[in-house]
A and B are shown apart, each in its own frame.
Chain A
Amino acid sequence: MILITGATGFLGRSVLRRLAQQPGETLRCLVRPGSDPDELAALIKDLPSGRAIEFFPASFNNLDALKRAVEDVSIVYHIAASKSGSFAAQTANTVVSTENLLLACKDANLARFVLVGSFAVMGVAGLPKGAVVDESTPLEAHPEWRDPYTYAKLRQERLALDYWRQGVLVVVVRPGVIYGPGEPVLTTRVGVSMFGWFLFLGGANFVPLTYVDNCADAVIAAGVAEDVVGEVLNVCDNDLPTARQIFRLYRRRVGWIRFFPIALPLLKLIARVNVWYSEKSGGNLPIVFSPYQVDTAWKFLRFSNAKATKCLGWQPRVSIKEGLELVLASQPKT
């Protein structure tokens, strides 16, 4: 039996689909109690029938239910996580939930616990311009200066590795920016939409994209690869594009967009003013960009997937060019 959390999410659906293509153990999807049966039926409607699939309703707050969910399970793919909300909400939904699942797994006879982490946990603000980001990059020292997502994912990864030291066979797969059909490709690394304008911020910075099916392959491989327990593996595709390349392609394929390019020095100035005004006014405007966040997101960094390709024997099947074409073809035309 293989347990998947977050199977209804963007990456989870792809992991489920690719696992279902191969014959093997039953796939058990942990879902929220009371999930819409029609949505769950739609999730597996067009899947290949390589394996039996079952839904197991359980709350991450219910340790007894989680213990039942991991009975007879050999591999856990823990993909579920909160992507939005306050520090408290994301800590509850990502960190506390992961600890409960790890507690449930502690006494289970698991062969592997694959945690889907995030590139966000790396502390890149202090790196020199143009540095290579890989698994040796230090962890973020001030996640609270970044955003609730970074804070929660960092705590989650540390927690999982603590449980590895206590005997749970944990592997952490950290995807970069997961993209694919149906998801917006103009992420914050490219720019932000504001008041009907797109502020183009990314310039010549590389965007660590990973096509959703490529990422799913890496996650699945982490569940069976040898000698990866206790390891952290960064996953992004080869030949990464710059924000400018993505934006140009977007405008060519999807259509006209009202945009305003902002150079890095100007962005840093805006960030300083934003923080100054937000603090002076006691939060009259939220901090959209702090200088620390700007340093984190746009530093002309390069990203390596060498360890993942070596340890997992994994290679992206969909190239960046093919992936971007697929995604842009799925975007509504403007």
Chain B
Amino acid sequence: MDLNVHMAEQAAIHHGVPQAYVDLTAMLKEVKPDVVHITTPPASHLSLGTLAIEHGAHVYVEKPFAVDAREARELMATAERHGRLVCVGHNMTFDSPFLRLRDAYRRGELGEIVHVEGYMGYNLAGPFGAIFMGDPTNWTHRLPGGFAQNNISHPLSMILEFLDDEAPGVVAVGQRFRKERYGDVRDCVLDEIRATLIGRSATANLVFTSQARPVQLYVQVHGTKRQAICHLDSRTLRYVDGAAMPGPFRRIQWAYEDLKQARREHRRLVRRFLSGKMHFFEGMSELFRQFYDAVAGRAEMPIPMSEAVRVTAVMDEIFKQCEENRPADRDQEAGDLASAIGGGQAR
């Protein structure tokens, strides 16, 4: 189903679906689906999700879940009122390395969490970046957090798995390092975001950058027992346990332990490839499977609906502060960033 007939038809033909629709209500009435996947821009998630729920469907909503927390709460309340389930598309939290990280955390292998680093890079010249940077009317420009809002839910949803707080404290700054040349909304797009989340027992940093290379997405979790580095691009999970040998041998042992971890992950990846398990959207498939199990009453929801609201609320706070801390010029930007994160050189 797509409002544009060409887009609806290409999806139907490409995926071997017999019927394409340009009217959601007509589709809901005719097909009576058990589950509706909403993959439209976020401004339509509340209205489309509500319509689907009112027609008896459970709903899978692509990230970002909603434009803001108010809409997220409203969608959740509608779902609860109708006894339907809503699942947010935080699919990367179901990629294999993150599943392993989650298991290790729950088994207590990391100890208590002290700090989490979440890093996401983005290429503005990439396939999707070129689309919205080439079009000032693109929907991403109408989001409160711009294109960053369409992306940071990935690292944020991972970070928040390790922070218990319902609403951690947030200190955030947004910056723009690109040359101003469009004369329209695209000149306002923030291409760098730094946020610190302060919880009762742990803290986290979020780095979103479109300048740094290589583009990558990872989380580093620092526990009282060991550190884990979960890399979503290389699909690896490595632990840092340090070294116990004395003096210079400690450094050699440390590097050797790193080498062993890398070698183990390399072998694991080769095995996954050869056994046909290395899929681009493996996390999404796993999330769908678990969500459908929940819909069928066979399992708990893979992501509680309240988690979608919590992530959205933290994003709201980040973008609110980015707007408030928007620097007037580059020098000012650097100063603000330094003071906001408590000193140090910004760039």
Chain A residues with CB under 8 Å of chain B are 32-34, 36-37, 59, 61-62, 84-85, 87-89, 91-93, 95-96, 99, 144, 151, 155, 277, 280-284
Contact = CB atoms under 8 A, between A and B. Distances in A.
Contact of B134 (A32, A87, A95, A280): A32
Contacts of B278: 284
B137 A34 contact: no
Nearest to A59: B135
B10 A91 contact: yes
A138 B133 CA distance: 39
A283 B276 CA distance: 8
30 contacts: A32-B134, A33-B135, A33-B136, A34-B182, A34-B183, A36-B181, A59-B134, A59-B136, A59-B137, A62-B137, A87-B10, A88-B10, A89-B127, A89-B131, A92-B7, A96-B4, A96-B7, A99-B6, A144-B13, A144-B14, A151-B10, A151-B13, A155-B6, A280-B276, A281-B277, A282-B276, A282-B279, A283-B280, A284-B273, A284-B279
A300 B137 CA distance: 47
Contacts of B4: 96
A33 B276 contact: no
Residue of A85, A88, A277 contacting most chain B CB atoms (<10 Å): A88
A280 B135 CA distance: 39
B6 A34 contact: no
Given A62-B137, A88-B10, A91-B7, A37 B276 contact: no
A88 B11 contact: yes
Interface of B: 4, 6-7, 10-11, 13-14, 127, 131, 133-137, 181-184, 186, 273, 276-280, 285
Nearest to A99: B6
A187 B11 CA distance: 28
Contacts of B279: 282-284
A59 B184 CA distance: 13
Contacts of B135: 32-33, 59, 61
Contact of B186 (A34, A87, A92, A277): A34
A159 to B, nearest CB: 8
B205 to A, nearest CB: 32
Contacts of B131: 89, 93
Residue of B6, B127, B135, B183 contacting most chain A CB atoms (<10 Å): B6
Nearest to A142: B13
Contacts, number: 66
B134 A34 contact: yes
Nearest to A91: B10
Given A85-B127, A151-B13, 12 more contacts: A34-B134, A34-B182, A59-B137, A61-B135, A88-B7, A88-B10, A89-B131, A96-B4, A99-B6, A144-B13, A151-B14, A281-B277
Contacts of A92: 7
Contacts of B14: 87, 144, 151
Contacts of B137: 59, 61-62
A7 B223 CA distance: 56
Contacts of A155: 6, 10
Contacts of A99: 6
Contact of A284 (B127, B183, B184, B276): B276
Contacts of A85: 127
Nearest to B179: A36
A284 B277 contact: yes
Contacts of A88: 7, 10-11
A89 B132 CA distance: 12
Contacts of A282: 276, 279, 285
A91 B6 contact: yes
Nearest to A143: B13
Nearest to B6: A95
Contacts of B136: 33-34, 59
Residue of A85, A87, A284 contacting most chain B CB atoms (<10 Å): A284
B186 to A, nearest CB: 6
A34 B181 contact: yes
Nearest to A156: B6
A59 B138 CA distance: 10
Counting from the closest, the 4 A-B pairs by CB-CB distance are A281-B276, A34-B182, A284-B276, A91-B10
Residue of B4, B7, B10, B273 contacting most chain A CB atoms (<10 Å): B10
A80 to B, nearest CB: 12
Nearest to B13: A144
Contacts of A96: 4, 6-7
A92 B9 CA distance: 12
A69 to B, nearest CB: 15
Residue of A33, A34, A88, A282 contacting most chain B CB atoms (<10 Å): A34
Nearest to B4: A96
Given A61-B135, A282-B276, A33 B10 contact: no
B182 to A, nearest CB: 4
Nearest to B16: A144
A73 B292 CA distance: 54
Contacts of B277: 281, 284
Nearest to B8: A91
Contacts of B184: 33-34
B252 to A, nearest CB: 35
Nearest to B136: A33
Nearest to A278: B276
A36 B181 CA distance: 8
Nearest to B183: A34
Contacts of A84: 127
A85 B136 CA distance: 21
